[in-house]
Structure 1
Amino acid sequence: MIPMVDLKIQYEQIKEEIDNGLLEALGKTQFILGPNVAAFEQEAAAYLGVPHAVGVASGTDALHLALAAAGIGPGDEVITSPFTFIATAEAICYVGAKPVFVDVEPGSFNIDPVLAAKAITPRTKALLPVHLFGQPANIGALQELCDKHNLLLIEDCAQSFGAAIGGKMTGSFGLAGCFSFFPSKNLGGYGDGGLVTTTSDETAERLRMLRNHGSKVRYHHDAIGYNSRLDELQAVILRVKLKRIDTYNRERRRVAHRYSAALASLGITPPVEDGIGNHVYHQYTLLSDRRDAIMAKLGERQIASAIYYPIPLHKQNVFAAACAGLSLPVSEGIAARCLSLPIFPEMTDAQVDEVLAAVRDALA
């Protein structure tokens, strides 16, 4: 079987370092906001080129707390993508704001800045683009919109750790960047975890307070906060993997480019590297009118595949009433044709070729 991602083989390669780090942390028994969390925050901030990185309990919490720290709340609108995981929109709803969905670009699958501009109203307080599948969004154009209309830019970087635009990392452009360390991510833990980056001292201070029950000093609470702290043991694992993230991303690109070179002649639309930034291929997502046939053939050969995402957010039941009559044809078209193939840094060329052989047979 070829899985979507092979976490076991990666663990075996770094097992000794992870196991030793975990045993050391267990021996110190500082499990809540311990030394590994502090060290990881410093190391991640240095890697991402930001002054502040605040560890939280999940990528969803990263989005939620970033919006809350930015002061976004009831009556506000936040423009975002409909073609993403629901956490992006959930976080907007958590703070009482309204997600406003605008369509994506057909090549990058990321939010279309031209359409975002048309969606701005007096209630708009922020743009929340997603760097989907590891392809950086058009941050330059989105930042221009924010500057022109006095809006906040908050980046959803859940799938783009290590991606950069002009040498500057995603997560370092807006007021805040929101990362997920779900196990399958480019930088993944062995459980949930998240991170918020910011260049603002004030925002960083508020994030640290919000993640810890609204407290700066123990048993003194200045706001209604949350219990959303990055776990010390997850920080141990993330520190080990952070040292290897550039290698992991380079190997993901190797796999992706091997796929793309072969698929271009098969009537399939491979992922587009649009030149805006370096794609780190959290997912390798193609488009095909014969998606079901390809999935069936892959399944016959015990090769995993997945549809990310089958239903755009504006078509989800939870948003059906608010988005009644809303047509976003690019997102809807992508959702009907998209298919993600296995991709992980340790994937061999032979495994890639096995996947490609199944795709060819499905289309024959």
Structure 2
Amino acid sequence: MIKFLDLKKVNQRYDKAFHEKLEEFMQRGWYILGDEVKLFEENFSNYCHSKHCIGVGNGLDALVLIFKAYIELGKLQKGDEVIVPANTYIASILSILQADLVPVFVEPKLETYNLNPVLIAEKITSKTKAILVVHLYGQLAEMDKIDGIAKQNNLLVIEDAAQSHGAELGVGSKELGVSNAKAYSFYPSKNIGCLGDGGAVITNDDELNKIIRAIRNYGSEKKYVNDFIGINSRLDELQAAFLNVKLPELDADNQKRREIANRYLAEIKNDKIVLPFYDGSKNHVFHLFVIRTEKRDELQEYLSENGIETMIHYPIPPHQQKALKEFGLLSFPITEKIHREVLSLPMSPVLTEEEVSRIINVLNRY
């Protein structure tokens, strides 16, 4: 069986370095917000070309903390509307709701699965105060167009970058650019993942940085002095140590993903399958390689029978989830088509050439 993602194999590459970091951690005896978190925050902010990186408990918390901090700063108020793609993972929506804001769903482009800038303007009202952009599957959205819309309407731009670590807007320019703040997840399956949960916020906003650092730690800048209604969401010291080991390899891993994607794109020849759009640039890090087919379940079963594991990202659109039943009467035909047809092929930097060839050959026989 070719696994969809062999995390054990991904992390075995770092086995010796992980054990060394664990030993250092045990010898240091400092377990919360210590030197490894500080080092990772410095390393990742440099990697993203940003002034600040704040390590937090997970990607969802990263988004929630951004929204809550902007409420503290008076740039958002409870009840304000936030534009968000209709076809995102539910965490994007949950972050808006948990900050007592209102999600306003916008359809994506069918070609890229990312937010359609043309449709944003139709949804902007006097209550709209922010756009939450999601770089789905690892491909950057059209940030130049979205930035123009945001500036015309005085809107904040926040990015859910949970799937796009290392994607570049231009040559040598990592994805930090036009947005006010960006949220990352280091869930184990991400392009750079923990051996547990983890997340981060990057921003160039000094005030936002200061407030998020406090809110993640019970609303406290100074021990036992609480200035905000905070939460407990701190990047774990040991997970930060592991991330410090893995970060130098992120660009090489992303390049390996692109090489696999280019083989899929060039060699899969089957008119029953719709391949993803890719312009050949570094704006895509292929966290996932997502195809579409009208008989998705049939294709998934066929691949399984031929020893190839796949996943569906995601089977149910957010507005049709029971948890979001207040949006259940809404209709988003493009989103619903995407969720009905998508299938994710194996994709990771440890896939072998032989495994990729086998996947291609099996798909071409379907």
Tell me, yes or no, whether TM beats 0.5.
Answer: yes
Q: Distance in 2 between the 1:161 and 1:76 partners?
A: 29
Are 2:325 and 1:307 aligned? no
> Counterpart in 1 of 2:96?
92
TM-score by length of 2: 0.96
Q: Which 4+ stretches in 1 moved above 4 angstroms?
A: 274-277
Q: Distance in 2 between the 1:114 and 1:81 partners?
A: 13
Which amino acid counterpart does residue 162 of structure 2 have in structure 1?
A: A
Are 2:44 and 1:38 aligned? no
> Counterpart in 1 of 2:302?
297
Per-residue CA deviation, residues 53-106 of structure 1 (Å, 9 max, x unaligned), is 000000000010011112234211100012121110000000101111010001
Write the mapping of 1:282-293 to structure 2, written as runs, cut at 5 A.
282-293=287-298
Q: Distance in 1 between the 2:269 and 2:246 partners?
A: 33
Task: Say which SS state the counterpart of residue 134 (structure 2) adopts.
Answer: coil
Q: Is the 8 A contact 1:158 1:178 kept in 2?
A: yes
> Counterpart in 2 of 1:17?
17
For the structure 1 residues 275 and 329, does the alpha-carbon distance in structure 2 shift closer, same or farther, using more than 3 Å as the test? Answer: farther
Per-residue CA deviation, residues 191-240 of structure 1 (Å, 9 max, x unaligned), is 00000000100000011001000000010000110100000000011011
> Counterpart in 1 of 2:285?
280
CA displacement at 1:357 relative to structure 2: 2.4
Gaps of 5+ in 1: none
Which amino acid counterpart does residue 270 of structure 1 have in structure 2?
A: L
CA displacement at 1:114 relative to structure 2: 1.0
For the structure 1 residues 253 and 277, does the alpha-carbon distance in structure 2 shift closer, same or farther, using more than 3 Å as the test? Answer: closer
> Counterpart in 2 of 1:358?
362
Root-mean-square deviation (CA), in Å?
1.4
For the structure 1 residues 82 and 10, does the alpha-carbon distance in structure 2 shift closer, same or farther, using more than 3 Å as the test? Answer: same
Aligned partner of 2:254 among 244, 249, 268: 249
Aligned partner of 1:135 among 134, 139, 145: 139
Per-residue CA deviation, residues 9-55 of structure 1 (Å, 9 max, x unaligned), is 22222111111011101210111001000000000000000000000
> Counterpart in 2 of 1:342?
346
CA displacement at 1:323 relative to structure 2: 4.6
Task: Say which SS state the counterpart of residue 67 (structure 1) adopts.
Answer: helix
Q: Is the 8 A contact 1:284 1:343 kept in 2?
A: yes
CA displacement at 1:172 relative to structure 2: 3.9
Identity %: 40
Q: Is the 8 A contact 2:270 2:364 kept in 1?
A: no
> Counterpart in 2 of 1:191?
196
Q: Distance in 2 between the 1:192 and 1:2 partners?
A: 25
Are 2:104 and 1:103 aligned? no
CA displacement at 1:265 relative to structure 2: 4.5
> Counterpart in 1 of 2:52?
52
Q: Distance in 2 between the 1:276 and 1:107 partners?
A: 16
CA displacement at 1:338 relative to structure 2: 0.6
> Counterpart in 1 of 2:65?
65
Task: Say which SS state the counterpart of residue 25 (structure 2) adopts.
Answer: helix
Aligned partner of 1:156 among 160, 166, 184: 160
Q: Distance in 2 between the 1:196 and 1:108 partners?
A: 25
Gaps of 5+ in 2: none
Q: Distance in 1 between the 2:134 and 2:176 partners?
A: 11
Matched positions, count: 361
Which amino acid counterpart does residue 257 of structure 1 have in structure 2?
A: N
